[in-house]
Amino acid sequence: MISHLRAPGWYRATFWTLVSLGLSWAILWAANGFDADAVTGIGFAQVALLAFPLFFLGGLGAFDYWFYWASGRPTRPEDHSGHGATSWQDYFRINTDHKVIGIQYVVTSFFFMFVGGLMAMLMRAELAAPGRQFVDPGAFNGLFSVHASVLIFLFIIPVFAGLANYVLPLMIGAPDMAFPRLNAVSFWLLPCAGVIMMLSFFAPGGSFASGWTAYAPLSVTAPPGQICFTIGVQFAGASSIATALNFLVTIITMRAPGMSFFRMPLLVWANFSTSLLVVIATPFVAASQLFVLLDRALGFNFFNAAAGGDVLMYQHVFWFYSHPAVYIMMLPGFGIISEILAVKSRKPVFGYRMMAFSLLAIVVLGFAVWAHHMFVSGMQSWIRVPMMVTTAVIAVPTGIKIFSWLATMWRGVLKLDTPMLFALGFLTMFVLGGISGVMLAMIPFDIYVSDTYFIVAHIHYVLFGGSLFTIFAGVYYWFPKMTGRMYNEKLGKLHFWMTFVFFNITFAPMHLLGLQGMPRRVADYSEQFATWNMIISVASFALGLSSLIFLYNMVASWRGGKRAPANPWNALTLEWQVSSPPPIFNFDHIPTVVGGPYEYGVPGAVHGVFESPATASAEARQPAGAVSSTAKE
């Protein structure tokens, strides 16, 4: 037993978590002058929620190497025991292999997708008719707040990090990420953030209910469940900053020989741009929630107007992160679409350099548009017009991307399988989201529709029709690489058509509802909106069901799908040149890049070559793959 508690793992993690709870109590006890009665439950919760993830991670073994290194004890940089996974249990350990971490990320974040989706189902059940059906207004406010927070912070942002974690080092010809141990920490912070947010449902007064925007001063005066958001965001944010930093260093310092910046696949470019946004913007959301926490826990006056605080400051700080966050949730998807459209149209990406530059343009402009969320916030009115112009201008690089994708397909040989269908679905749906976005940039129109269902429709066309469609496309596209199995094409297509049809029936009418004057974030609405809400609710249940097809397809195919060849899509990028799944260390020899990543239609074009031509073919890679299964004895 003692040895269990000393060795890194779940026993020690549990033990250290308990220690952190005791320690939190002891700190408060001491801070209150050793008066046990003065320690409040909420005070304890605040300290414990901040402390336990670090102790849990420590117990799990995330910091062991660094402790050894800092204390000067011998470390073994050549120890690759944390690489590869031979059984499902390996996915529940600290693992430094980017491929294992990628799968951990994707599976965990999809778990949160189902959690968040379930909350959406409950909300639609409540909204199916006017009046009260299943939940009271307080619980309803809690549902939409947790729904949005979970899907944004624990699904869309990390699932992109997960997909990129898996394929990005392979794509640039690196054996792993630059900081594999930091990578593991990034991942394990995520379930901690998830647990914290879920815990809010057990808080007195219910889960946090001031929206994912958590506007002060409502979030300052809200019931204690609110701290689960303020603290959960700290860990989710730390996780995404650490991952972004890791991506940037990996991309800058670990590209294969010959892989110049303009030979990088666009997915790499997309994650490079996204990571820049994360590193620069995410500290702002952490700070905004820290202010709320200080106001709540220690009686600070950041948002107390009576004491000279400024309420609108919260919104400026919050949106300075949260608008770039929209691009954090979209740019990696752009990368995925560029990969898929080129491979599935059998043509080079049209205007590759403009595709890369437009990403960077979005990064730069993305920092200059935040206040378009605040046209009716009561801020200084002169800020509005410059923000309207920048917001409209940011549509230009986005338009360049859309037109370039269309040109990429033009005269190609389109293979209409599931990833491609989702990519095409993305293209059409995202245009709608983009158009309503430009409409919303126009101040007079925004004054009318902000805080209505038009906004709900817009955000879902961007994040569901946009981001989620690219996520599905990416998951289907790399599923053979990640699992070594083929998914079921028929079920995949069924999933696409159900998603596409019911997505539109669910969210398109919301535009109309918003224009007719239905405000968002309401548990109840007037009779005139009843018909459309019933239609939306029914369609949303069908949309929910469609995700079960996806779940079944993924689970069944992973367990018993057809074995995947190394390169089922006949793609040129490096990740497809190694076995499926790739060998434990990705490459026996680092490949040399000799051409662009999308030279389809160019006779004899190759992107990368391996040192010995014999090892470049998929069959010859098999022995390396076999090593991976015996390596963890």
Partner 1 sequence: MEAASVHHHGPPAANRSSRVHPALLGMLLFIISEVMVFGAFFTAYFFIRVVVENAHWFPIDGVDLPVGVASVNTAILLSSSLTLHWAQTSIKNGNHTGLKVGMLLTFLLGATFLFVQVNEYIVLTGEGITPQSSAQGSVFFALTGLHGAHVAVGLTLLAIVTLRSFRGHYTPEEHDGVEVPGIYWHFVDIMWVVVFTTVYIL
Partner 2 sequence: MGEETVSEQAPAREQADPRRDRPVHVWTLVAIGLVATAIGIALGFAIDWFPVRGSTQADDIDTVYHVLVVASVPFFVLVTVITLYCVWQFRERPGEEGLDGPSIHGNTGLEIVWTTIPAILLIGLCTYAYVTLTNVEEAPAAGAPKELRVDVTGQQFAWTFAYRGLDGKPVKSAELVLPKDRSVKFQIRTLDVLHDFWVPEFRMKIDAVPGITTSYRITPSKLGSWSVVCAELCGVGHALMRQKVTVVTPERFDAWIRRKQAGGMAATGAAGGGGAADATDQAAIGKTLFAEGNGEATACGACHTLSDAGTSGATGPNLDEVLKGWTPAQIAEAIENPNKDVAKGYTEGIMPANYGDTLTKQELAALVAYLEKTAAK
Please, what is the minimum distance in Å from the beta carbon of residue 459 to partner 1?
Answer: 24
Q: Does 7 bind partner 2 (CB under 8 A)?
A: no
Part of the chain binding partner 2 (CB under 8 A), chosen from 155-163, 276-284, 437-445, 618-626:
437-445
CB 267 within 8 A of CB 214: no
Q: For tokens 């900081």, what's the residue? A: 179
317 binds, among partner 2, partner 1, none (CB under 5 to 8 A by kind): partner 1
Pattern 215-254, binding to partner 2, x per CB under 8 A? x-xx--xx--------------------------------
CA 583 to the chain's CA centroid: 26
Please, what is the minimum distance in Å from the beta carbon of residue 444 to partner 2?
Answer: 5
377 binds, among partner 2, partner 1, none (CB under 5 to 8 A by kind): partner 2
CB 280 within 8 A of CB 245: no
Q: 76-89: string of b/e by CB count within 10 Å (b at 16+)?
A: eeeebebbbbeeee
CB 392 within 8 A of CB 441: yes
Query: Judged by CB under 8 A, which of 104, 250, 404, 418 binds partner 2?
Result: 404
- Range list of H helices, 150-307: 157-171, 180-199, 218-221, 226-253, 266-298
Q: Mapping DSSP to helix (H, G, I), strand (E, B) and coil, where does residue 160 land?
A: helix
Q: Mapping DSSP to helix (H, G, I), strand (E, B) and coil, where does residue 519 land?
A: strand
Q: Which of residues 302-321 bind partner 2 (CB under 8 A)?
A: 303, 305-306, 309-312
Please, what is the minimum distance in Å from the beta carbon of residue 343 to partner 2?
Answer: 11
Please, what is the minimum distance in Å from the beta carbon of residue 258 to partner 2?
Answer: 17
Q: Does 600 bind partner 2 (CB under 8 A)?
A: yes
CB 91 within 8 A of CB 492: no
Part of the chain binding partner 2 (CB under 8 A), chosen from 146-154, 212-220, 480-488, 559-567:
212-220
Please, what is the minimum distance in Å from the beta carbon of residue 63 to partner 2?
Answer: 39
399 binds, among partner 1, partner 2, none (CB under 5 to 8 A by kind): partner 2
The residues, any chain, with a CB within 8 Å of residue 203's CB and separated by 6 or more, are 45, 223, 224, 225, 228
Is the Cβ of residue 12 or residue 521 nearer to partner 2 in the bound state? Answer: 521
The residues, any chain, with a CB within 8 Å of residue 241's CB and separated by 6 or more, are 278, 279, 282, 283
Is the Cβ of residue 284 or residue 476 nearer to partner 1 in the bound state? Answer: 284
217 binds, among partner 1, partner 2, none (CB under 5 to 8 A by kind): partner 2
Is the Cβ of residue 376 or residue 620 nearer to partner 2 in the bound state? Answer: 376
Integer angstrom CA distances of residue 581 from 17, 29, 46, 426:
35, 52, 43, 27
The residues, any chain, with a CB within 8 Å of residue 382's CB and separated by 6 or more, are none
Binding site for partner 1 (CB under 8 A): 69-72, 78-81, 83, 173-176, 178-179, 182, 241, 245-246, 248-249, 252-257, 259, 279-284, 286-288, 291, 294, 298-302, 304-305, 307-310, 312-313, 316-317, 320, 584-590, 627, 630-633
As a whole number of angstroms, the distance between CA 499 and CA 540 comes to: 10
532 binds, among partner 2, partner 1, none (CB under 5 to 8 A by kind): none
Please, what is the minimum distance in Å from the beta carbon of residue 18 to partner 1?
Answer: 24
Residue 612 has φ and ψ, to the nearest 5°, of -105, 125
Please, what is the minimum distance in Å from the beta carbon of residue 92 to partner 1?
Answer: 19
Q: Does 448 bind partner 2 (CB under 8 A)?
A: yes
The greatest distance separating any two alpha carbons of the chain, rounded to the nearest whole angstrom, comes to 80
Q: Does 8 bind partner 2 (CB under 8 A)?
A: no
Please, what is the minimum distance in Å from the beta carbon of residue 243 to partner 1?
Answer: 12
Pattern 362-401, binding to partner 2, x per CB under 8 A? --------------xxx-----xx--xx--xx-xx--xx-
As a whole number of angstroms, the distance between CA 220 and CA 302 comes to: 10
Nearest to 83 by CA among 164, 192, 177: 177
Q: Mapping DSSP to helix (H, G, I), strand (E, B) and coil, where does residue 592 land?
A: strand
Please, what is the minimum distance in Å from the beta carbon of residue 187 to partner 2?
Answer: 32
Q: Does 489 bind partner 2 (CB under 8 A)?
A: no
Is the Cβ of residue 70 or residue 385 nearer to partner 2 in the bound state? Answer: 385
173 binds, among partner 2, partner 1, none (CB under 5 to 8 A by kind): partner 1
DSSP string, 386-410: HHHHHHHHTHHHHHHHHHHHHHHHT
Query: Judged by CB under 8 A, which of 346, 538, 609, 615 binds partner 2?
Result: 346
Is the Cβ of residue 194 or residue 348 nearer to partner 2 in the bound state? Answer: 348
Q: Which of residues 526-555 bind partner 2 (CB under 8 A)?
A: 526
Integer angstrom CA distances of residue 342 from 264, 268, 427, 567, 601:
14, 15, 14, 15, 11
Nearest to 175 by CA among 266, 84, 264, 279: 84
Q: How many Cβ atoms sit within 10 Å of the Cβ of residue 129?
A: 15
Reported in sequence order, the residue ranges of 57-146 that DSSP labels E, i.e. its strands, are none
Pattern 507-526, binding to partner 2, x per CB under 8 A? -----x--xxx-x-xxxxxx
As a whole number of angstroms, the distance between CA 561 and CA 564 comes to: 8
Please, what is the minimum distance in Å from the beta carbon of residue 231 to partner 1?
Answer: 16
